[in-house]
Amino acid sequence: MQLTGSQIVVECLKEQGVDTVFGYPGGTILNIYDELYRHPEIKHILTSHEQGAAHAADGYARSTGKAGVCMATSGPGATNLVTGIATANMDSVPMIAITCNVANPLLGKDSFQEVDIAGVTMPLTKHNFIVKDITKLADTMRRAFKIAQSGRPGPVLIDITKDVTAAKTEYTKEVPAIIGRIGDTITEDAVADAIEIIKKAKKPMIFVGGGAVIANASQELAEFVEKVDAPVTDTLMGKGAFDGNNPYYTGMLGMHGTKTANLSVSECDLLIVVGSRFSDRVTGNASKFASKAKILQIDVDPAEVNKNIVVDHYIIGDIKLVLDILNKKLEKQDHSKWLEKVFARKEEMPLSYPVDRLTGPYIMEKILEITKGEAIITTEVGQHQMWAAQFYSYKKPRTFITSGGLGTMGYGLGACIGAKVGNPDVPVFNIAGDGCFRMNMNEIATATRYNIPIIQVVFNNNVLGMVRQWQTLFYGQRYSHTILNDKVDFVKLAEAMGAKAYRVTKKEEVEPVIKEAMQLGEPVVIECVIDCDDKVWPMVAPGAPINQVMTEDDV
């Protein structure tokens, strides 16, 4: 049948099972929005800013495992998506960004709101397209979804000229092909060598990254840990892939990792790396990372092997498939002496925080207690992000959603909205600092417009907390432009945007406020006033090896 380009875009979204789109209309994309008007089966969430749309699509994707979709018009609309696209790219998130550009005859003429968004985003996407021919539109849409979701996922941008959205061509509906897992790269020799290395280890450690979450490999990972009989550590992106309540779990690794994890990785004789890219925030001084260990890396992306850390052995392939094969071939190992040492270290070196006042860690522990670990936690970036990682136990994947690679301040609130839309029956909290909250707090208006019952928690210390922490420890307490001690009233702001709001200043106020917020069924903002000099401990100084992990007592 003959359809316009706009109709083809909507039909292709329906083909792919898309139920929600986040976006902001404008001149060049009006034809698509006009068609969306006729299709209420696709929910459209109008965000307050295009960046919020990108972050919401990202949070939707991370929390559901499906591709998130965002839309924007040409020029500034498209460029406002860029930070969200880069965030998704760094963390391997399947996202489709649909933009429209000026008509073909106007391209390259500095026309009103013309930007080469495909050129702008080329380094920030897994792939991108500009569609200038109506006959190629449907195939391009289908290819984009396949690319975004296959192998190592990532964002794909589709830029469509406005005349293509109005033109007509023949359209035939297609059922999307099932996207298979990558297994043809898993060789028998690689598996055999890996099993031999594991059998020889006396002090193995398993290090879990975001790839295990993406691969939905939690069940296989849990079995693998039992088979290897090894303690487990993870990254920010890997949280929830392995149950944080499991006795084998030692906490997060790296700059703000636990002493147990950092010291044990530095002492182990085999480090099994499951879906991690060896970020500098994890490795510290790369030349001294896991220096006593052989390293076995399991990853779907061959580009990650020997990129940041040289490894002794690797298996390339889908993590779920690799672990399943290893579990079938590997005999149960016994490392009881090594585990005894690690578990003793875990008892001796627990995470701690000041108990005489209201703190971020206390609030996170209260949220954990009240939700019983069943909430989705999104975060902004900074001290609050680390406290959310340290003091909330994630027992399931896709329940901790944060900007790990790009470290995007302003990410969490949009992501929280996307996660709640994708998981309406799950409580969703966004944890923010006051600095981050300022960046995209206009998205509270999005939550209230659609009555999306998110709970926004703001740790207000009137400073840029993590930057101040670095200034305190490494810059002679020169607090250059990090003090936010102004007259902003977050409670009044939230109320002005239609949200219920609370201000908490004492520990005893936290529990009743959180319980009430969870029962309201509407957007809530909770401002929690904490001390400006509270710090995230433990910490590894930049450039130091991770075994030089320090606490406040050490300083």
* Catalytic residue IDs: 50, 112-113, 162, 466
Q: 486: pLDDT confidence band, cut at 50, 70 and 90?
A: confident
Assigned token pair, 352: 């701690």
Is the model's pLDDT at 553 over the cut of 90?
Answer: no
What is the per-residue pLDDT across 325-336, written as a single tens digit (0 to 9) for each? 999 999 999 999
What is the per-residue pLDDT across 38-67, written as a single tens digit (0 to 9) for each? 999 999 999 999 999 999 999 999 999 999
Is the model's pLDDT at 295 over the cut of 90?
Answer: yes
Determine if the peptide bond prior to 523 is cis (ω within 30°).
Answer: no
Q: 546: pLDDT confidence band, cut at 50, 70 and 90?
A: very high
Is the model's pLDDT at 370 over the cut of 90?
Answer: yes
Provide the pLDDT for residue 235: 98
Provide the pLDDT for residue 554: 83
Bridge partners, residue 297, by sequence: 273, 314
What is the per-residue pLDDT across 78-90, written as a single tens digit (0 to 9) for each? 999 999 999 999 9
Q: 533: pLDDT confidence band, cut at 50, 70 and 90?
A: very high
Provide the pLDDT for residue 130: 98
Angle at CA of residue 375, ends 374 and 377, nearest 5°: 140
CATH number for the 188-348 domain, one of 3.30.70.1230, 1.10.3720.10, 3.30.1330.60, 3.40.50.1220?
A: 3.40.50.1220
Q: 159: pLDDT confidence band, cut at 50, 70 and 90?
A: very high
Q: 555: pLDDT confidence band, cut at 50, 70 and 90?
A: confident
Is the model's pLDDT at 488 over the cut of 90?
Answer: yes
Provide the pLDDT for residue 388: 98
- Mean pLDDT computed over 253-270: 98
| Burial track 241-253 (b if 16+ CB lie within 10 A, e otherwise) | bbbbeeebbbbbb
- Mean pLDDT computed over 102-110: 94
Provide the pLDDT for residue 150: 97
Dist. CA 12–CA 6, nearest whole Å: 10
Are the beta carbons of 224 and 212 closer than 8 angstroms?
A: no
Is the model's pLDDT at 440 over the cut of 90?
Answer: yes
Dist. CA 117–CA 115, nearest whole Å: 5
Provide the pLDDT for residue 122: 98
Provide the pLDDT for residue 540: 97
What DSSP letter does each residue of 203-263 carry, written as one string?
SEEEEE-HHHHHTT-HHHHHHHHHHHT--EEE-TTTBTTB-TTSTTEEEE-STT--HHHHH
- pTM above 0.95? yes
- For 109, 147, 182, 206, 462, the CA distances from 187, given in Å and listed in that order, are 52, 24, 12, 21, 55
What is the per-residue pLDDT across 212-231, written as a single tens digit (0 to 9) for each? 999 999 999 999 999 999 99
Length of the chain: 555
- Mean pLDDT computed over 276-282: 97
Which helix (H) or strand (E) segment holds residue 131: the answer is strand 127-131
Dist. CA 88–CA 92, nearest whole Å: 6
Dist. CA 77–CA 28, nearest whole Å: 10
Is the model's pLDDT at 166 over the cut of 90?
Answer: yes
Residue ranges, CATH 3.40.50.970, the chain: 2-170, 360-541
Q: Are strands 168-170 and 2-4 parallel, antiparallel or unpaired?
A: antiparallel
Look at the domain 360-541 and name its fold: Rossmann fold (3.40.50)
Is the model's pLDDT at 33 over the cut of 90?
Answer: yes
CATH number for the 2-170 domain, one of 3.30.750.24, 3.40.50.970, 1.10.287.130, 3.90.420.10?
A: 3.40.50.970
- Mean pLDDT computed over 438-454: 98
Average pLDDT for the chain? 97
Count of other CB atoms within 10 angstroms of residue 448: 17
- Mean pLDDT computed over 188-192: 98
Q: 385: pLDDT confidence band, cut at 50, 70 and 90?
A: very high
Assigned token pair, 460: 């207000």
Q: How far apart are the first and last CA of the chain?
A: 72
Is the model's pLDDT at 469 over the cut of 90?
Answer: yes
Give the ranges where 268-358 is alpha helix by DSSP (H): 280-283, 319-329, 336-348
- Mean pLDDT computed over 449-475: 98
